């Protein structure tokens, strides 16, 4: 890959970031994104944040393009076996809704290149409902499958399994949500470069439309204080995953990235209750029961 390829990818992802923000502003109908352009020794980026909207409590869409020397800690954390320098660019987004019946969602697409010439793409989209709705979960997975099938019919089953294994909290023995798709270290060589760039772009384009559908179905539903408290507990699990296991968080910190942007995925409010157990036969217990790997959501 060349410097021009890197510039092309960064330009493509930056444009997608702007597109996503416009769609989410329209979906919320009240709040607008603010843009915080940052520059550091390793590169630059735009952190875009929407807060206290009509339906969205907090949304963030980050873009960055950075480069530097591969540190020993980065090499270990990212399983890098060759190359002393790197270039990385991508966009990541998180949405925390106000209504506990609307889900949290996350999307990330990224490109990573080593000085040796080895390059790869990664990313995915996943959904973390506070209350699992089987019909909505099935619809979400079908929409992801449609995007995947445009490029390779093996993508969805392979990347769905990968998401189940990745978005998992082993210390809780539960998944973060209902998964989605996740992939990493997908060969970005000349042969696959164009397809994977197009695929990551298609995922980023589908992301706001998919979420808007789910948000609009649930944004005006009535909820109780008990349901709001459950939302905060589920957000706590989200925080646990991001701090303990998320690769993007680890890369950002290990590479000397901008801390404010790295931690934007955190919810505005979250809580932890000692040894909390949902009531028997409650919606909360049903959701807890469904936080498992290898559920066939397409046919739920």
Q: Which among 106, 130, 141, 232 is annotated as catalytic?
A: 106
Q: Considering only CA atoms, which of 99, 90, 128 is closest in space to residue 242?
A: 128
Q: Are 104 and 77 in contact (CB under 8 A)?
A: no
> At how many degrees (to 10) do helices 3-28 and 190-218 cross?
10
Count of CB atoms situated within 10 Å of the CB of 158: 14
Which token pair is 154?
């093996």
Q: Is 106 a catalytic residue?
A: yes
What DSSP letter does each residue of 29-72 carry, written as one string?
Answer: SS---EEEEEEETTEEEEEEEEES-SSEEEEEEEEEEEEEE--H
Non-local CB neighbours of 44 within 8 Å, separated by 6+ positions: 37, 38, 64, 65, 66
d(CA 124, CA 19): 18
d(CA 92, CA 288): 27
d(CA 286, CA 18): 38
Residues labelled catalytic: 106
């Amino acid at each position: 890959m060349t410097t021009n390829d890197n510039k092309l990818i960064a330009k493509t992802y930056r444009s997608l970031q702007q597109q996503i923000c416009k769609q989410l502003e329209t979906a919320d109908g009240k709040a607008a994104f603010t843009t915080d352009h940052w520059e550091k020794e390793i590169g630059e980026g735009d952190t875009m944040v929407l807060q206290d909207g009509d339906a969205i409590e907090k949304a963030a869409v980050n873009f960055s393009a950075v480069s530097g020397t591969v540190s020993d800690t980065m090499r270990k954390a990212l399983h890098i076996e060759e190359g002393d320098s790197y270039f990385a660019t991508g966009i990541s987004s998180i949405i925390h809704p106000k209504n506990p019946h609307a889900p949290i969602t996350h999307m990330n697409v990224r490109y990573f290149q080593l000085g040796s010439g080895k390059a790869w793409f990664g990313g995915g989209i996943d959904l973390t409902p506070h209350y699992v709705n089987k019909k909505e979960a099935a619809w979400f997975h079908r929409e992801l499958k449609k995007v995947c099938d445009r490029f390779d019919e093996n993508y969805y089953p392979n990347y769905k399994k990968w998401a189940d294994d990745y978005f998992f909290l082993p210390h809780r023995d539960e998944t973060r949500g209902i998964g989605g798709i996740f992939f990493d270290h997908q060969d970005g060589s000349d042969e696959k470069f164009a397809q994977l760039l197009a695929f990551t772009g298609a995922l980023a384009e589908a992301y706001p439309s998919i979420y808007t559908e789910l948000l609009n179905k649930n944004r005006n539903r009535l909820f109780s204080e008990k349901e709001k408290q459950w939302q905060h507990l589920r957000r706590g699990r989200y925080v646990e995953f991001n701090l303990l296991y998320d690769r993007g968080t680890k890369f950002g910190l290990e590479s000397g990235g901008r801390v404010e942007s790295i931690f934007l995925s955190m919810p505005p409010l979250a809580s932890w209750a000692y040894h909390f157990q949902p009531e028997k036969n409650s919606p909360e217990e049903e959701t807890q029961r469904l936080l498992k790997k290898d559920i066939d959501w397409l046919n739920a």
